[in-house]
Amino acid sequence: MRQLDVNLMHPVEQINVIIGRIYRSGMTTTSGGNISIRDKNGDIWITPSGVDKGSLTTKDIMQVKQDGTIIGPHRPSSELPFHRAIYEARPEITAIIHAHPPALVAFSIAGIVPDTKIVPQAHHICGDVGFAPYGTPGSEELGEKIAREFQDTRYRAVIMENHGVVLGGVDMMDAYQRFETLEFCCRTIVNAKRLGGVNYLSDEQVSQYVNHLPENISYFMNIDYPSEERAIRREMVDIIRRACNQGLMISTYGTVSVRWKGDDFLITPRNLARWDIVPGDIVQIKNGMAEAGKVPSRSVALHQRIYQLNPHINSIICTQPINLMAHAVSGSAISC
């Protein structure tokens, strides 16, 4: 059974789930960061001020109605002014995340906007990134400076000078995946520079990624799920969850496949947050075709070819752990 999509939850549940993930990932402190959702009726749901981010519950999330009425047991976040300013500047944005993850804060202090063209999907998710000059936290001035950056529709992420980052999304998962991916880029760049330098991709290389996503996949209808196949699905999900918990995968990247029989195999799906994948999402590949109703990872052809040419290989994992990626983007060999 498919787990409940975060975006289908009530705003207080969405905020509680995502702030919990951010806190457990070490991307905010007990007192730092705030996230919000704007309802279609104009109400804003936002994290409270002065409440431990590691112990928030749905009852702590504040509602600020369009007329300014505040509903809830606490004061809304002190950064409510810039959340409002962003929503006013960009009507299509319905979710905002602001936090102080270590690598992004380092870039904000250095006054540098990260170049996300280290892997093609990262730039595809993050896009261009803006930079807002320093403003006093919680002030109207800060809100005006951030909103001025968001008025440029190229930006869905803005670095805040000597502060942190703020990101917008068409929904909460869109904002979260951009946030997580941008911090991944910053951490990778910092580590790669320690090894010597960063080899950035060209605009052409990034566009090739978008333009060459597989679209001509064939599908089969006569699907069978014998017990041994179902056991593999469960094992794959366990591995994916462990990889996410250990920081070896992020919500937007990580592919696992397992040979089932002959050259047929099971593979993770495309466009699902990795930590939300359940056994029923895994895609069966048989005779080069995918089971109907599911979309396999964009690297399905690569996995298929590896299995065909290497009968001794029975499982493949493609992912981007931070420290290994530092070697990949710097061209620095690993000495074992």
Do 81 and 184 lie in a common domain? yes
Domain containing residue 230: CATH number: 3.40.225.10
Do 159 and 232 lie in a common domain? no
- Name every residue whose Cβ is closer than 8 Å to that of residue 71 and which is 6 or more positions away in sequence: 62, 63, 64, 65
Does residue 175 lie in a domain region?
Answer: yes
Do 139 and 223 lie in a common domain? no
Distance CA 325, CA 290 (A): 30
Q: How many domains does the chain have?
A: 2
Do 153 and 17 lie in a common domain? yes
Q: Pairing between strand 128-132 and 44-46?
A: unpaired
Does residue 157 lie in a domain region?
Answer: yes
Does residue 190 lie in a domain region?
Answer: yes
pLDDT score for 1: 43
Do 118 and 176 lie in a common domain? yes
Range of the domain at 151: 6-195
Does residue 201 lie in a domain region?
Answer: no
Do 225 and 326 lie in a common domain? yes
Name which of 289, 288, 292, 320 is nearest 305 in CA terms.
Answer: 288
Read off the pLDDT of residues 301-331 as tens digits, 9 standing for 90 and up.
999 999 999 999 999 999 999 999 999 999 9
Q: How confident is the model at residue 188 (pLDDT cuts 50, 70, 90)?
A: very high
pLDDT score for 214: 62
Tell me the pTM: 0.89
Distance CA 146, CA 81 (A): 10
Structure tokens at 328: 């990949």
Q: How confident is the model at residue 231 (pLDDT cuts 50, 70, 90)?
A: very high
DSSP 105-160: HHHHHHT-----TTSHHHHHHH-EEEEEPP--TT-HHHHHHHHHHHTSTTEEEEEE
Q: How confident is the model at residue 168 (pLDDT cuts 50, 70, 90)?
A: very high
Does residue 107 lie in a domain region?
Answer: yes
Contact 178, 157 (CB under 8 A): yes
Structure tokens at 145: 């400076």
Does residue 152 lie in a domain region?
Answer: yes
Do 225 and 119 lie in a common domain? no
Does residue 165 lie in a domain region?
Answer: yes
- Name every residue whose Cβ is closer than 8 Å to that of residue 62 and which is 6 or more positions away in sequence: 45, 46, 47, 48, 70, 71, 72, 74, 75, 76, 77
Do 48 and 163 lie in a common domain? yes
Do 191 and 271 lie in a common domain? no
Q: H-helix or E-strand containing 95?
A: strand 95-99
Q: Given the residues 79, 180, 183, 291, select the one marked as catalytic.
A: 79
Do 257 and 187 lie in a common domain? no
pLDDT above 70 coverage of the chain, percent: 97
Contact 62, 76 (CB under 8 A): yes
pLDDT score for 30: 87
Do 178 and 265 lie in a common domain? no
pLDDT score for 29: 87
Between CA 241 and CA 77, with CA 51 as vertex, the angle to 5 degrees is 100
176-to-199, 212, 297 alpha-carbon distances in Å: 26, 25, 20
Amino acid (one-letter) located at 174: D
Does residue 203 lie in a domain region?
Answer: no
Q: Is residue 79 among the annotated active site residues?
A: yes
Choose one of 163, 195, 227: the last residue of a domain: 195
Do 186 and 232 lie in a common domain? no
Place of tokens 């936290």: 137
Between 212 and 314, where is the model more confident? Answer: 314
Extract long-range pairs of 290-294: CB within 8 Å, 24+ residues apart: 290/217, 290/218, 290/219, 290/220, 291/219, 291/220, 291/223, 292/219, 292/220, 292/221, 292/223, 293/219, 294/269
